[in-house]
Structure 1
Amino acid sequence: MKIRSGCRLLLAMAFPMVVCVAAGAQSGVVGTQASETAVSRAVPEAKVARDSNGALPGDSHVRIVRLSDVKGTLQLDRKTGNGFEATMPNMPIVEGEKLRTGEGYAEVEFEDNSTLHLAPNSLVEFPLLALRSSGTKASTVNVVRGTVYVNLESTKGNEFLLWACGRKMTVAPATHLRVTVEGEKTVLSVFNGNVTVERGSETTLVNKKQSLTLGADQVTVAKKIDQGPYDAWDKDSNDYHARYSRANTFAGSGSSYGLSDLNYYGSFINGGGYGSFWQPYLVSAGWNPYQNGVWALYPGAGYSWVSPYPWGWLPYHSGTWSFYPGYGWGWQPGGVWNGLNNIVVTSGQTAGTLAQNPVRSPLRPAVPQKPGDGASPSSLVLAGDKPIVFSKEDKPGNFVFQKNSAGLGVPRGSLGDLSKISNHVEQHGSASMPVYASSPSLSTGGSDHGANVGPVILKAGSPVSSDNSSFPSASRPGPYTGSSSQTTPLSHSGAASASGGSSGGGSRPGSSPK
């Protein structure tokens, strides 16, 4: 597939690691495994035995989970034969894959909105992602090294196993924990819920606000938890999902992962005779949901479409995209779940009609052609017929929201009510906002670990001075401006609902395609 140089340059600014690998694949240089770090060579990867990973006869192994947030450098081994490769948000993770972080942070989201957070220099394996014949979802995660947080929803019946240094840990629903693996030492800290740890023939129940330290010849249970350096980052991520995830928004959809991002980056619109549909903020009627993206190869399944947009999960695995006159492209939930084969209609074909009014389907990029005999397929293939548009800081302290960026480049949850900003961008083409850089922070409370660390995030407003911290504990919303001199204060509101926007608004009429 040919890629225009201008499109490649703009894509590189949005997700550079993927573009570098995809460009290399097209020139025939991709296929070498990324070199291991000194840390990974020093710590051999612990394997989970196939008969002990929780698999049962009759299991289905077609589940996929979502790489939902990416900050910094990390890599995913998708079993393509290329070893660890660059990755991006919304990349599907299937059974048998491995995810590692370098100087980066990652979030993995499961179907019921449970999450896995990986701190820098961590490595995990996914030996089991199964669907039982009873409908139960069974997941096994092997923590090879680093610090990993698990936050499980209270979904009844689901099974979740952790392995660390050869120890099996059964995690109960509604459990929030942190596990750190350094060489032969494992420290398990349970914030909420409980975990049953098996060591040979012995079992230990670790309850809420308890920690367990396992070494080569050491087993210690403490009725306290030391604060970890990444706890504030984990809390910020969990708070985002708690605030913006609304399961009843998509009642009956069968899957709730991705709801938080849909609620923050867009809203449902009442389209009159067209019915209700969801649309991202910061778009015009000229925007196409398939105008940019990446094809990722999954052995045995073929190529899967990966959207670069931060909300780009559910709308590309279920439901229907349609064009609504006067509004632009919108998405309706429902229908069957499309896993890795998530584009069933190729370019030039239609995808059906709504009950009341026929609407056209977006032109979707053609699936990459299979290589000839003896040729190796490209693992990552760029696709797109338009330059990608994204919002970003044009200079330190000034964030610019761009029309048709569809939220690309906008940090999740930290810049206020996007519906109001989107209305301003629709009228003026762009809007700017004063911002400042901040790091996660928690009260140390006498912890021996000192200051918290985490990825730097942008917040609305200006820094607030503090005698106790170099970073403000809360943001101070400020004005945003477009091409006019009028300013409007930002406000922080709740998530979008199925009946309207996040601030109670109704329709968001679009402009004519340009």
Structure 2
Amino acid sequence: MLLAFSALSTLALADTPARVGRIALAQGPVNISSEVGDEATAALVNWPVTSSSQINTGRDGRTEIRIGSTSVRLDSDSSLEVVELDDDTVRLRLHYGSASIRVRNAEVLRGLEITTPQGQIRMKDVGRIRIDAERVRDTTNVSVFEGVAQVDGGGSSLAVRAGKRVDVHEDDVRTALAVRDGFDEWALQRDQRDGRTTSDRYVTSEMTGYEELDQHGEWREDSDYGPLWTPRRVAADWVPYRDGRWTYLAPWGWTWVDNAPWGYAPSHYGRWVMVRQRWSWAPGRNIGRPVWAPALVGWVGGNNWNLTFNDHGARRAAPAQGWYPLNPGENYVPGYHLRPEHLRHHNRHARPDYRPGRRDGLTVVGLNLFDGRGQIVVPRAPRPVLTPQSTQNAPFGAPPRPQGNWSNRFDRDGDGRPDRNGPGRVITVPPNGAQPVVPYSRRDGRPSDNERFVRTPPQVLTTGEPQRSLAERDRRQREAEIERRERDMANERRMREVEVDSRRVAEGQQRQREAELADRRREAEMERLRGAEGQRQQAIDNERRQRDAEAQLQAQRDANNRQQAERQQRDANLRLQVERVQRDADHERRLQGERQQREHDNERRQQAERQQRDADNARRQQAERQQQDAENARRQQAERQQQAERQARDADNERRQQAERQQRDAERQQREAAAARQAQQARQPQPQPQPQQVQQQQQSQAEQADKRERAREERQDRRHNVQQDIR
């Protein structure tokens, strides 16, 4: 009991970090373990990543880890350990494989560190790098595609700029050009997708999971809650914290893992509100670095809250445990130790007078599911029958802590402060001063020089065994001897391996001592060189002072020479000024005489030009008058000719009209005479005309008709001519 209380006290004293990463993508076989040595499980999207997490990818597997705006991507057959992840530090160790790291925020650079078996890498500027460890035996390759990286290893430290690659060996460093492959192109495509997001207008880019919100929901501003994000393509009865699972993550406690790809940020930051009959996520105003929480929910239930569950058709009463999303006005009460400023950040919108009414979005499962260490898959869990009365009477109560020893990964030594271990594997110290025992750290499964093995004693027969035949006893003894020899041979092989490892360690220590001796010699040589450099610098300073004195004397002489030259220059300028005034006066007199001569010449020329213009104007006017008189005479003569032509046309017209009248009178008289003859003939009996007379009569009628036609045509011609004359 005392030990359990001590463990709980230690767990509560250590501050928990406010930054936790997540698995953003898992393709193919990808495993994750929360602690070094724990059993690895299949990595799910939105699974939390924190200190001591180890991520492994198998063949054809790839994964992406997001820590705020920083992306860490692993290629197939890779192993990455998160040595330390807190508010200010991100320390990673790539045991083997390939990793692509993209940093967008310059504030992350100070605490970012990546180690490999051959060296250490730090990024000096935002950008993108790739690290390959143990792809070639005992070699680390660092390729810089954007930014600058500092690489320490192989006895050297150098800055690598964009477009360069460094190959780090145990005692050598080589440089080359960086070359991309399919893994780099895949990482670049993922980065380009992140560059198109607009969610960073509403939340900070250091909120892990913000990059998934744009393509799965819509943003809008609300007068009460500020920016609101509403998910798209969810069911009408969808409720937050219902489609996912619970897992226990020390030291935070029960942690929610959402099934939706966008579910990480809305589950671990901000609050959920019901607006217009739809759930919307309210992250609050962007006020700096966000603070992570395992789940922002209110807990109800416990052993005193029994409900009826429908388990495979059978009804049973059992204790229940429920949770519901917290409203911005409600206080978040964590079950772990949290810094006061972090707790104030969570409850910055909480109201002291807030009294929760209905628990919207309440989800209830059996309390027994929280007893074990396994995951609680909520959609598969049996659900109880809820009534308004049972929901209203539900007591507040958090779920129990699973049974077992849950150590605080940030306070392994139990001093109440987060540990700051160096790079490498985390080793726990057992009680009673025993030596620490660590799992085999070699990749081939063999023990290293600090990993002990136990010789198994051979089996012997006891006196209590029943008597057997001599042959059976001999056979058993031979088998025991064979087993003993095999164990001895295995132990000898292990001893040889330990000796080899010890020799390697000794050689490494010898190389380290030699390197230290070389460093001391180098430091002594540097000290001697610094002394010589100091003497040389002193001589240089003396020479500089002498040159300064000579320069000062020379400057004084130059100043005197300049003053004398200036006086001579002033005298020369004065003489030049007098000469210039005299020249100006002579020039002015000459110009005045020239102006007077030009004015006299201009006056004579203008007078001659005026006389010439007057004579020209008189001649031109006289010629114009003569030309005008001639034109008037020609015009009058033309008018007289036109008048004579009109008179002639009028006379012709009069004669034609008189002839036409005479012709018409003659024709009328002929018609009247013919009519009179016809009338007279009609009164007298007419003899039968002779055929010859009839023929002559018809011929005369035809001739008369022709004459009339010709007369009509002549009249038309005359009329046409008259019209032509008139025109």
TM-score bin (small chain): 0.5 to 0.7
Q: Deviation digits for residues 431-457 of structure 1, max 9, x if unmatched?
A: xxxxxxxxxxxxxxxxxxxxxxxxxxx
Q: Name the count of aligned residue pairs.
A: 316
SS at match of 2:186: helix
Q: CA deviation at 1:76?
A: 0.4
Over 3 Å counting, the alpha-carbon distance change for 1:367 and 1:99 in structure 2 is farther
Q: CA deviation at 1:330?
A: 1.3
Q: CA deviation at 1:348?
A: 6.0
Equivalent in the alignment of 1:295: 246
Over 3 Å counting, the alpha-carbon distance change for 1:92 and 1:323 in structure 2 is same
Q: Which runs of 5+ in 2 are unaligned?
A: 1-13, 301-321, 330-350, 383-727
Question: 2:61 aligned with 1:104, yes or no?
Answer: yes
Q: Following the alignment from structure 1 to structure 2, what is the Cα–Cα distance between the partners of residues 258 and 84?
A: 23
Question: 2:132 aligned with 1:194, yes or no?
Answer: no
Amino acid corresponding to residue 213 of structure 2 in structure 1:
L
Q: Following the alignment from structure 2 to structure 1, what is the Cα–Cα distance between the partners of residues 121 and 155?
A: 13
For the Cα contact (< 8 Å) 1:80–1:299, is it kept in 2?
no
Alignment of structure 1 residues 52-451 onto 2, 5 Å: 61=17, 63-79=19-35, 82-102=38-58, 103-111=60-68, 113-131=69-87, 137-156=88-107, 158-181=110-133, 182=135, 183-199=137-153, 202-222=156-176, 224-250=177-203, 255-269=206-220, 276-326=227-277, 328-334=278-284, 337-346=291-300, 347=322, 351-352=326-327, 361-364=360-363, 377-384=372-379
Q: Following the alignment from structure 2 to structure 1, what is the Cα–Cα distance between the partners of residues 169 and 323?
A: 60
Q: CA deviation at 1:130?
A: 2.6
Q: Following the alignment from structure 1 to structure 2, what is the Cα–Cα distance between the partners of residues 170 and 263?
A: 32
Higher helix share: 2
User: 4+ residue runs of structure 1 moved beyond 3 angstroms?
Assistant: 58-63, 269-276, 335-338, 341-346, 348-361, 364-372
Amino acid corresponding to residue 300 of structure 1 in structure 2:
P
Q: Following the alignment from structure 1 to structure 2, what is the Cα–Cα distance between the partners of residues 320 and 299?
A: 23
Q: Following the alignment from structure 2 to structure 1, what is the Cα–Cα distance between the partners of residues 247 and 280?
A: 24
Equivalent in the alignment of 1:30: none
**Segment of structure 1 superposing worse, 172-181 or 306-315:** 172-181
Cα RMSD of the aligned pairs, angstroms, is: 3.2
SS at match of 2:284: coil
Q: CA deviation at 1:284?
A: 4.2
Between the two proteins, what is the percent identity of the paired residues?
A: 20
Over 3 Å counting, the alpha-carbon distance change for 1:221 and 1:323 in structure 2 is same
Amino acid corresponding to residue 270 of structure 2 in structure 1:
G
Q: CA deviation at 1:385?
A: 6.8
Q: Following the alignment from structure 2 to structure 1, what is the Cα–Cα distance between the partners of residues 230 and 238?
A: 11
Q: Following the alignment from structure 2 to structure 1, what is the Cα–Cα distance between the partners of residues 364 and 147?
A: 45
Q: CA deviation at 1:201?
A: 5.1
Give the structure-1-normalised TM-score. Answer: 0.55
Amino acid corresponding to residue 168 of structure 1 in structure 2:
Q
Amino acid corresponding to residue 83 of structure 1 in structure 2:
E
Higher strand share: 1
Q: Following the alignment from structure 2 to structure 1, what is the Cα–Cα distance between the partners of residues 228 and 359?
A: 15
Q: Following the alignment from structure 1 to structure 2, what is the Cα–Cα distance between the partners of residues 323 and 385?
A: 26
Q: Following the alignment from structure 2 to structure 1, what is the Cα–Cα distance between the partners of residues 325 and 116?
A: 49
Amino acid corresponding to residue 21 of structure 2 in structure 1:
V
Q: Following the alignment from structure 2 to structure 1, what is the Cα–Cα distance between the partners of residues 223 and 296?
A: 29
Q: Following the alignment from structure 2 to structure 1, what is the Cα–Cα distance between the partners of residues 223 and 105?
A: 37
For the Cα contact (< 8 Å) 1:191–1:210, is it kept in 2?
yes
Q: Following the alignment from structure 2 to structure 1, what is the Cα–Cα distance between the partners of residues 198 and 147?
A: 21
For the Cα contact (< 8 Å) 2:24–2:65, is it kept in 1?
yes
Q: CA deviation at 1:343?
A: 3.5
Q: Following the alignment from structure 1 to structure 2, what is the Cα–Cα distance between the partners of residues 172 and 245?
A: 27
Over 3 Å counting, the alpha-carbon distance change for 1:371 and 1:348 in structure 2 is closer
For the Cα contact (< 8 Å) 2:154–2:169, is it kept in 1?
no
Q: Greater Rg, structure 1 or structure 2?
A: 2
**Segment of structure 1 superposing worse, 142-151 or 275-284:** 275-284
SS at match of 1:156: helix
For the Cα contact (< 8 Å) 1:245–1:259, is it kept in 2?
no
Q: CA deviation at 1:369?
A: 5.0
Over 3 Å counting, the alpha-carbon distance change for 1:215 and 1:319 in structure 2 is same
Q: Following the alignment from structure 1 to structure 2, what is the Cα–Cα distance between the partners of residues 59 and 323?
A: 33
**Segment of structure 1 superposing worse, 224-233 or 121-130:** 224-233
Equivalent in the alignment of 1:443: none
For the Cα contact (< 8 Å) 1:291–1:385, is it kept in 2?
no
Q: Following the alignment from structure 1 to structure 2, what is the Cα–Cα distance between the partners of residues 285 and 228?
A: 45
Q: Which runs of 5+ in 1 are unaligned?
A: 1-57, 132-136, 388-514
Q: CA deviation at 1:245?
A: 5.0
Which structure is higher in RCO with an 8 Å CA cutoff and minimum separation 6? 1
